[in-house]
Structures are given as C-alpha cells and as structure tokens.
Chains A and B, each alone.
Chain A
Amino acid sequence: MRLLGKQEIEDIAIGAALLGTGGGGDPYIGKLMALQAIEEFGPIRLLSVDEVPDDAVVVPSGMMGAPTVMVEKAPNGEEAIKAFKSLENFLGKEIFATMPIEAGGINSLLPLALAARLGLPVVDVDGMGRAFPELQMVTFYLDGISASPFVIADEKGNVTLLNTIDNHWAERIARNATIQKGGSVMMAIYPMVGKNLKDSGIHHILTLEEEIGRSIRLAKKNGLDPIAEVLKLTQGFELFRGKVIDVNRKTETGFARGTARLEGLLSYKGETLELRFQNEHLIAQTEERLLCVTPDLIAVLDAETGLPITTEGLRYGARCVVVGIPCDPKWRTPKGIETCGPGYFGYDVEFTPVEELVKKGVGVK
C-alpha cells in the first residue's frame, strides 16, 4: 500500500493521456476532480493486486459518454457514490475497493476522485492497459466476466441498474440511457472479486502511468530525451518522426473517425505516415509498410516536450514522434483480436505484433 498525493496525480494524468493513444478524453477534468477530492478528503491509498483478498469485492468506476460533455457539464462528485451504493445494495456485499476500468484518458483519474471521497482504496490494475471505446473491450470480458449487474448515475440523481444478458447488450442499452441522461454519466460496472483481478486484470497500470508522467516531467528538468525515457519504460518503439500535414475527421455513429498524415523528418524524410483513428489511434502505416495495429498502442507525442497529443489536438504543422507499444499479451489471443483488433473496427488488415512489424516490415496491400 502506498499513498497518492497531488504530485502523483499530476504524473498519472500525463501517463493516462499517453496510454489513451489519442482518445479516452482529456484527463484534465478528471485530474482536477481528483485534486479537489484530495484537498477535501486527504490522500488516496493505492493497493497492489496481491493486497486484495481473493473474495473481496472490487468495482471499477468511470464515466460513460462524451468527454466533450463532461468538460462542460462537470460531475458533482455524488454520481459515482450513488452508483456505488446502489450496486453495493443490489449485490448485498460491501465493496472493498475501486479501480480504473481503462488506463487511458479521463477514466484513469475518475476512480481516484471517488476513492478519495469514499475513503476506499484503489487497486493498481485495469482491464485495458490503454483506452478503448466500448464496454466489452476489457480483458475481463475475454475471461467471461460480465459487465452486469452495473449502474449508471447522473448528476440529477437518476440511478439506473442494468442486468443484461451479455456485454454487447450492456453497451447498447447503457449508451442510449447515457444520451437521455445528458451525454455523460458515471458508472459502477464489472463487479468482481480479488481473484478475478489477479487472473484477468492488467497489473501495475497506475504505477506505470505515474512512471511515464514522472519520467517525462523529470526528463524536461534534467535535459534528457523524454521520448527515449518513455520507450524504455513501455518497451515501445519509435515508429516515425514527422510533421502533421493533413487531418481529415468526421463523426460517424458517435465516433470521431478520421485519418492524419505526417510528413517524415530527419531519418524519415521522404516518407509519409498515415494514422487511422476512431477516437483512439488504431493503425499506423506508411505507403510501403504497416507499422502498428490495434490492440497494440499507438501514441503521438510532441517532438519537443514528449507530451501526448490527442486526436482532437492533432493539427497542421505539429512536430510529433509516433511510438508503438506492445499491448498486454491477453489482447493478442484470438478472442482478444476479435474483440478489439483491426477487423472489429472495420479495417481490412491482419494484426501483427508491433515488435515484428518494426523488425521485418510487412508490406501494405
């Protein structure tokens, strides 16, 4: 067990933006909520997975809906508590701790705000190791754990308990209810026990985020290359260095889909990288070569500061370094690829691990 204070929160927010792979929502508002909660209720206890008893109930907490709505209609802080209490009531068991459902973006920070308010510990684990857009895209789903029963709650006090037959129905119904509630709700979902976390979760993820944030911050201070530091920490690869020359986006079925093109600089001169995204970056390729494919992580970093750039923040002239990071091995199983590989997002591309793509170079069709 260790305590998370303000500096740790600041660092986690940067790491969360990086693992958000361009999506996941700007962690800024989540960070402020966590900071205000710490100010009012004191620091947060962070537990490693080993510290959670096998039969203790752990419930992830997070937001569902449009991050754009959340930065305008910020939560009141009680939604997540109401969702928790309602689920606790239904389960008839006391909740031992909370955790992030996804490591990327805003949802990494929200459980911290809740934990501070409730005095609950947070477990150093999540179900994605990155950001993904849909409820079933978690490693718990791969092991047959159900999202249900789960609760979504809005700031007005509306609390909705859902018990669905599978996780796709959960996604569909909850998404519609979210729109009715104003486009952004807090949820208590995927109730689990300690044993589930040990078997199916992605461990040490908050610590990794914190280390990423800290190394970028300290690299700046100590005159080191922040990108090299990030690659070391994540066992990632530099895929490309270049300048954004074109961004093309549109909203389809609720997703910000699009492509961005980068013109190579330095040793990449003469090459053009294409990034394809749907909220998150999903594919990185040049004219000749495939470089990285979902569920492996593609992060775009500012070439100078090493700070992550979201797909919304991608703009003409931005100097970036694109990095590829191997995803958790759980995602590289057939069911994992089926759940959030390129085929699920509608791309006619085979998944190949980034470390192989970087080594061999696989031609693009």
Chain B
Amino acid sequence: MSIYRIGIDVGGTHTDAVILDQEYRVISETKTPTTQDVSSGIYQAMKQVIAKSGVPGESIKYAMLGTTHCTNAIVERKRLNHIAIIRIGAPATLAVKPMIGVPDDLKEVLGKHVYIIRGGHEFDGREIAKLDEEELYRIAHEVKGHVNSVAVTSVFSPVSRDHETRAADILKEVLGEAVPISLSCEIGSVGLLERENATILNAAVVNVAKATAEGFINALREEGIDAQVFFGQNDGTLMAVEYAMRYPILTIACGPTNSLRGASYLSGYSDALVIDVGGTTTDVGVLIQSFPRESSLAVDIGGARTNFRMPDLLSIGLGGGTIVRIQEDGTFTVGPDSVGYRLPEKGLIFGGDTLTTTDVVVALGKAELGDRSLVAHLDRELLEQIYARMVEMVEETIDKMKTSADPVPVILVGGGSILLPDQLKGASEVILPENFGVANAIGAAIAQVSGQIERVFALDELGREQTLELAKSMAIMEAVKAGADPKQVVIVDIEDVPLAYLPGNATRIRVKAAGELAQVDEGIKA
C-alpha cells in the first residue's frame, strides 16, 4: 500500500492544502478562504483535498499543519493561558522588571503573577547567586490552582541552563505534570528581556496550541485518517505534536517559511530568492541551502520585543487584490490597501467596481482571467506605466534582499505571482514552478525535522575549530531527538558572533541541523 501525506498551510487570505505521495508528487491541491476561527477553514480545505485526491483515508500517514492560531491569539489577546512569570536573576535585573516595554493590554492579561527570585549565572557560567529553591516552592504553592502555564527565565541560561531545569523540577513537583513549564533557554538567545518576552508568549499560547492540535487530530479521525501529526515551525522544519505543545511560539510566521521551502522543493534550487505574491502583500525571502535566511534583529510580536529566530522577510503592499487609483491628472498610486479575498467580486474583470493589479495585468494581456472586455476601455499607455511601477516595486525589494551585486535565481510562488513578468532586474532567471499557487502547503508537507543550539562558548578552552565541532554535534543530536533520520541529518546553518569586551574569546554560536523525517516502518506500524 502506498503512503500519502497531507500538508495544510493557513495564510492571511487563503488556506491551502495538498496531498503528496511517497515521492512527493502532488496528487491533489485546493484553496479555500481562511475563516475567522481558522479551524473551520482548515477542516474545509482538508475535506476538499482528500475528496479530490480519491486517496483512501487510511493510507494518509502523515499530516503537516502550518497555522496562524498562536499568532492570532497573541495579537487578539484572546484564549491565552493563565500564566505565572518567574525570573531567576536577583540581585541582578531588578531595574528592569518583566514585561517592561510590553503594551499595557498584554501586560494586564499576562502579568498577574510575576516573580523575580535569586539565582542565575554570569557570562562565564559562574553563579550570580545560589538558586533560591525555598522561594520557588513558596511561589509554586501560591500559584497552584491559579495558573495553568509557567514561564521561567534565568539570567545567562544560554550559557548555563542549570537553574532553569532545576526550577522546572520544583514547579512540576508542586504543580504536577499537567502544568506546562516554558524554559527560556529552549526558546531564545542572549538578551534577557527579549528572551523572557518570547518565553512568556510561549507559555501564554500553550492551550491554544493544544486545542488546535486536538481539533486537527479529531478532524483527521473523522475522515478515517490515523496519521502522525506535525506542526510547521518558522524555520521551515517540523515538530511533533508533543513538542509543539511545549514550544508553540515556534509556529509563529511558519507560513512564509513554508512558501520558501515549497519554492525550493518545486524548483529544485537550494540558493535563491523567493517571491511569494499573495492577495494583499508580496513577501520576499532568501533561501540559503534550502532554508530561509533568518533575521538577526529583534522582532515584535503583538507589541512585545522578542529575539527568537524568525525568517528574514521583506513585505511590500503589492498583491493580486491591491487597489490601483488613477487621479484626474493621470497620476496613480498602487496600494498599499487591497480588496483581499474579495477580489472575485470586487475586481473589474469579475464585474466589480475596483481597479486592482490583477485587472491591470489582464487588460495588458499578460494573464488570462475573468472577462477582459470589462477592462478594454482603460488607457493602455497609463496601464503600462502602472505595470512598470509594480515591477519596479518588486525589483527594489529584490535588490534590498540580495547579499551581493551578482544576479540570483528568483522563484515566484503564490496565487498572485501571475502579476509578475518572466524577467526581473537583478534576477539571473525567473522560475515559475508547477503548483506555484500552493507552494506553501507543499512546503509544509515536505518539511524536514531540525535541531538547533545557540550558546555562548569560550573559544579559548577548545579552540575555534573544536568548539564548532562540538556545537555541530549538539545540534545533530537535537535533530535526531526531534525525529530526524540520523543517517540523513546535515548541518544547514552556522553563525558565530564574538562578544565585545569579554575575555576568553566569548562567542555566541548558533548551529542548525536538519534531516528527513525518520520513516515509519510500515511493518511495525500495521
């Protein structure tokens, strides 16, 4: 019996789904509108794509979901866990309390049980103070019954995680296994407030992730599918459901990443620029060894400054539904607003009343869609100017994302990519792969499993080469732990940044390893 996999990716406008066979060939694909509650849209897409494929439910063995549930919960400040925030670091850090700089409405929801206790480490691994275990026990008893998730952040836990893991043991002892504990060392890097914020947000969306996962698994069961379920992470790799419940924050921004990964797979390119044109925006990202380049800057999520890894993307307000306005004097503007998912009713070629970018390309004969006669009356010369402006917007973005003056391959994906020509400035070639419209769902379906470590190392101890080797083997171990096939794991990214004003050549090293999912052995599974 053949084994199939289903991949679903939730975007701002559409929820896309695909079914792939063992060789990753696309058996069926579908696009449905993203719904307010997100989940019903997922189920809808899932049912459609299964029905279209004709594949029997029991032969679908893997299900991969890239969703926006967690992002939405944070942005809307809804359905969040009741959390306790524990920082280990006194007597240091008191001058900046947890959640300082975070918007008041978020602080109000999440900042009800905030503690700073003694402990934490120095940059070289010495203790600032002994961990105050007695106080931890007291806090654990105080919050018991009032919270259902805890965020723990210890000073310099990227150097030594001892106090965080000990704190987790104590909290579990008192609160029981059912209350999840989020540890900062597993979420962010050096930079206390940013890492703490990311950990707090993680603790806050545990329930949302849990409900999403359970809903998804049940919906699969109703279709007769008993599959291994994975969530897409924002680095383009997968995590098993159990892992996703512990680190739901890592699902944020997985959508654009899935598009990048899908583009890489569909085009066969490992190093390229990817342009994902949606209904409202165009996202440009960079593939390095088949993975998205990560941003090195602090990222705001729901107004909170965080520092966990995110894909490095540049978004511009140009999509298939972007509104074009022509003034009396012949000048015009492109966007940034869009009719979004209402393009099929609003666009001129569909009999609507709004001039959009899609109307422009259809009027110019660059794409076949809707009724071209409805835009025949428009001034062709002006349309050419508008089109040139649209292309220029994309070309400027390409140039900003490139790392050198050399032209690079450019891969177009997303439903709106019909807007763009087959030649672009700065591109060595422009590739529009098959199934470009659902590259994101394909990216989710084919995703690999990864492991990452990020620590501060003293290079003087082992030397640079040996330290890097050590870091690499740690990352590979993490990947295997997460479910990757040990025979196939490779290092996909290494970054080392020296820290100024410190002895011993203290250096922050980040290594990521990834590999194919270790295949389920059919014999055993059956």
Contacts and interface: CB of A to CB of B under 8 A. Distances in A.
Interface in B494-516: 497-503, 505, 507
B82 interface: no
A74 B93 contact: yes
Contact of B96 (A32, A68, A183): A32
A221 interface: no
Contacts of B120: 73
A182 B159 CA distance: 13
B117 to A, nearest CB: 13
Interface string A71-100: 111111110000000000000000000000
A183 B506 CA distance: 11
B502 A76 contact: no
B91 A29 contact: no
Given A72-B156, A73-B156, A74-B93, A66 B500 contact: yes
Contact of B128 (A156, A245, A249): A156
B500 A76 contact: no
B217 interface: no
Contacts of A157: 91
Given A256-B500, A263-B405, A73 B91 contact: no
Among A32, A72, A255, A256: residue with most chain B CB under 10 A: A72
Given A72-B190, A319-B400, A32 B500 contact: no
A22 to B, nearest CB: 12
Among A33, A65, A182: residue with most chain B CB under 10 A: A182
B418 to A, nearest CB: 27
B440 to A, nearest CB: 24
B123 A77 contact: no
A76 B94 contact: yes
B95 interface: yes
B404 interface: yes
Interface string B205-230: 00000000000000000000000000
Contacts of A179: 502-503
Nearest to A258: B498
A156 B129 contact: yes
A182 to B, nearest CB: 4
A38 to B, nearest CB: 12
Contacts of B123: 66, 68-69, 72-73, 182-183
A10 B168 CA distance: 37
A285 interface: no
A155 interface: yes
Contact of B500 (A35, A36, A156, A254): A254
Contacts of B369: none
B10 to A, nearest CB: 29
Contacts of B297: 313
Contacts of A33: 95-96
Contacts of A67: 500-501
Contacts of B89: 73-74
B389 to A, nearest CB: 18
Given A73-B123, A155-B91, 10 more contacts: A66-B499, A72-B156, A74-B92, A74-B96, A75-B94, A76-B91, A156-B91, A179-B502, A183-B123, A251-B507
Interface of A: 29, 32-33, 35-37, 65-69, 71-78, 113, 155-157, 179, 182-183, 243, 245, 249-251, 254-256, 263, 279, 312-313, 315-317, 319
Interface of B: 89-97, 100-101, 120, 122-124, 126, 128-129, 155-156, 190-193, 296-297, 399-405, 497-503, 505, 507
List 9 A-B pairs, minimum CB-CB distance, nearest first: A251-B498, A66-B501, A77-B95, A76-B94, A256-B500, A155-B92, A316-B403, A182-B122, A74-B93
9 contacts: A71-B190, A75-B95, A76-B93, A157-B91, A254-B501, A256-B500, A312-B497, A315-B296, A319-B400
